[in-house]
Chains A and B, each alone.
Chain A
Amino acid sequence: MNSSKLQSTLMKWLMPIANKVEQQKHLQAIKDGMIAIVPIIIIGSFFILPIAFMNVFQSGPIHEFFANHIDKLTYPDKFTNGLLSVYAAFFIADSLAKKYAMHSAQYGITAVITHVILSGVVTENGLDMTYLGAQGLFVSIISAILSVEVTRFMIKKKMVVRLPDSVPQMVGDSFSNLFPMIVNILLGSTIAILSTSLGEVAFPQVIMNVLAPAISSMDSLPSLLIVIFLTQFLWFFGLHGPAITSAVWAPFAITYQAENIANYAAGADVTHIFTFGLYYNILQVSGSGLTLGLVLLMMRSRAKNLNAIGKVSIIPSLFGINEPLIFGAPIILNPFMFIPFVFGPLIVTTLTYFGMTSGLMGMPIANPPGFLPPGVGAFLMTLDWRAVVFVFLSLILMTLIYLPFFKAMEANEIKKESEKTV
């Protein structure tokens, strides 16, 4: 089989998979809903910074000031990260409902109520919020899907109140959601009560016990390598790697991120490596394939095509957008680029993993905003200058990995260009 035939065979095989994942409404809703809470995590991250300041100054007046006021300084953290799973339940349900063309905020709110019932632990003093933050994120997936599916089923079976069309839509929506909401609330309450009375633990704890092996196995070097390999492999065929693979890993990575923040805020050990921030700010910095060095090489190239693409790619690349490079060079289906583009990032991933487990650089404690220039995101994420150094060393390493393949591609390109002009 020659290489172009192999490529078209693979493409025939990859496209339907990507298409299936794209059309799987639950997976997409979970992904969209989880990504929708990332801004809340970013904002929450700002309010754990006072803890970092406090830790920088081990003693003295500045330390005392922070220590005395740390509850006030980190106040918003309890209501951003501390209630994260409530927001996730809303966004996942809202996204799923819209995919079913059910356009009303009622479905998101039904999911929120269901979720708080499933995850809130009633105590003598009110509500225990332990499971409403990071620890409740997997339950928010369950609450959202359950409540939307129950509602959808009831609408389909006409088990809802229908008001005449002359009634304003807002009013009509809230009435038609009346019975589905009652059913969801009763269902949630039953599950919550059964779980605490029979199992003697809160429902989220039951779910965590069941999912524990799956949850912990995602945060490992083999999982990271598989995710990065698939990302790069899909991009090589021109398909958006992170968009497709994140349907599976984003819920985990965002949960790890939120758990790290919660642990950091509580003064406990930060344990997770595979966070949302890590993926974009180290493993895919300057775009999938860590291509900044390759862009710089192209900008200096004598091959006209590569030079032109290098120039249009540089600014977007600085902000982590490298579609111009991937489609322009092109990297897709380019035999010269397969090895460095697909396998180079695996080396960086391995180094990152051991760099963090060995303590050579800090773990991801916060989640930085997206689309930041190289190093900036890594610093905001770890608050460790060594992570910034690591990012630049990784980019240099990747440049060296691309270099010989780039030279071969450039020579080929120059040959083609001179043939054209003859």
Chain B
Amino acid sequence: MNILLVCNAGMSSSILVDKMKKAAAAQNLDVVVEARSNNAINEEVGKWDICLVGPQIIYAVDSIKATLGIPVAAVEPRTYAMANGEEALKQAFKMHEEGKA
């Protein structure tokens, strides 16, 4: 599964990306996770299955959804603050399941 993380400059979300990669490796999950800045998402159409956005740009969820056409949601603030990779992965997989249903 390909998971895209988006925040304003792609900086704070990259902290969470590292933790998600580690959590995925520990669980032997086959996922690709990368961070992008919000102004670069026009280039990302068709490349991702799930998009998580930093809670600070929760207002951009609608426009990102319209651009990418995949499930998009804000990361839970506490998960984002602590860069909790496991929780963020769980959220992504849950969204993926719900998207299929």
A interface residues, Cβ below 8 angstroms from B: 15, 18-19, 22-23, 28, 31-32, 35, 95, 98-99, 101, 235, 238-240, 242-244, 308-309, 312, 316, 319, 321, 323-330, 332, 370-371
- Chain A facing B: main interface SS: helix
Contact of B56 among A31, A32, A239 (CB under 8 A): A239
A98→B12 contact, CB < 8 A:
no
Q: Decide if B78 is an interface residue (CB 8 Å cutoff).
A: yes
Which residues of A lie under 8 Å from residue B11 when comparing CB positions? 319, 321, 371
Which residues of B lie under 8 Å from residue A309 when comparing CB positions? 81-82
Which residues of A lie under 8 Å from residue B60 when comparing CB positions? 19, 22
| 20 further contact pairs, Cβ within 8 A, besides A19-B60, A240-B8, A328-B82 | A18-B59, A19-B62, A19-B63, A22-B60, A28-B39, A99-B42, A101-B42, A238-B77, A240-B54, A240-B57, A242-B8, A243-B57, A309-B81, A312-B83, A321-B11, A324-B15, A326-B56, A328-B77, A330-B78, A332-B77
A98→B42 contact, CB < 8 A:
yes
B interface residues, Cβ below 8 angstroms from A: 7-9, 11-12, 15, 38-39, 42-43, 54-60, 62-63, 77-78, 80-83
A-B contact pairs, 11 of them (CB 8 A): A19-B59, A98-B43, A240-B8, A244-B59, A312-B82, A316-B15, A323-B54, A327-B81, A328-B77, A328-B82, A330-B77
Contact of B83 among A244, A324, A325, A371 (CB under 8 A): A324
Which residues of A lie under 8 Å from residue B15 when comparing CB positions? 316, 321, 324
CB distance from B77 to the nearest CB of A (A): 4
Contact of B81 among A98, A330, A371 (CB under 8 A): A330
CB distance from A11 to the nearest CB of B (A): 10
CB distance from B25 to the nearest CB of A (A): 20
- A-B contacts, CB under 8 A, total: 86
CB distance from B31 to the nearest CB of A (A): 22
A95→B59 contact, CB < 8 A:
no
Residue of B with least CB distance to A95: B39
- Chain B facing A: main interface SS: helix
A328→B54 contact, CB < 8 A:
no
Q: How many angstroms from the CA of A133 to the CA of B81 in the assembled complex?
A: 41
B39→A32 contact, CB < 8 A:
yes
Q: How many angstroms from the CA of A240 to the CA of B78 in the assembled complex?
A: 16
Contact of A316 among B12, B58, B62, B63 (CB under 8 A): B12
Which residues of A lie under 8 Å from residue B9 when comparing CB positions? 370
Q: How many angstroms from the CA of A370 to the CA of B10 in the assembled complex?
A: 13
Q: How many angstroms from the CA of A325 to the CA of B42 in the assembled complex?
A: 29
Residue of B with least CB distance to A330: B77
Which residues of B lie under 8 Å from residue A325 when comparing CB positions? 81
Top-8 shortest CB links A-B: A328-B81, A18-B59, A327-B81, A240-B56, A323-B12, A327-B77, A98-B42, A32-B39
Residue of A with least CB distance to B8: A243
B80→A327 contact, CB < 8 A:
yes
B56→A243 contact, CB < 8 A:
yes
A327→B42 contact, CB < 8 A:
no
CB distance from B55 to the nearest CB of A (A): 6
Q: A28-B39, A243-B8, A316-B12 are in contact. Are A323 and B59 (CB under 8 A)?
A: no
Q: How many angstroms from the CA of A15 to the CA of B59 in the assembled complex?
A: 6
Contact of B55 among A32, A101, A238 (CB under 8 A): A238
A239→B59 contact, CB < 8 A:
yes
Contact of A239 among B39, B58, B80, B81 (CB under 8 A): B58
Which residues of B lie under 8 Å from residue A371 when comparing CB positions? 11
Which residues of A lie under 8 Å from residue B39 when comparing CB positions? 28, 31-32, 35, 95
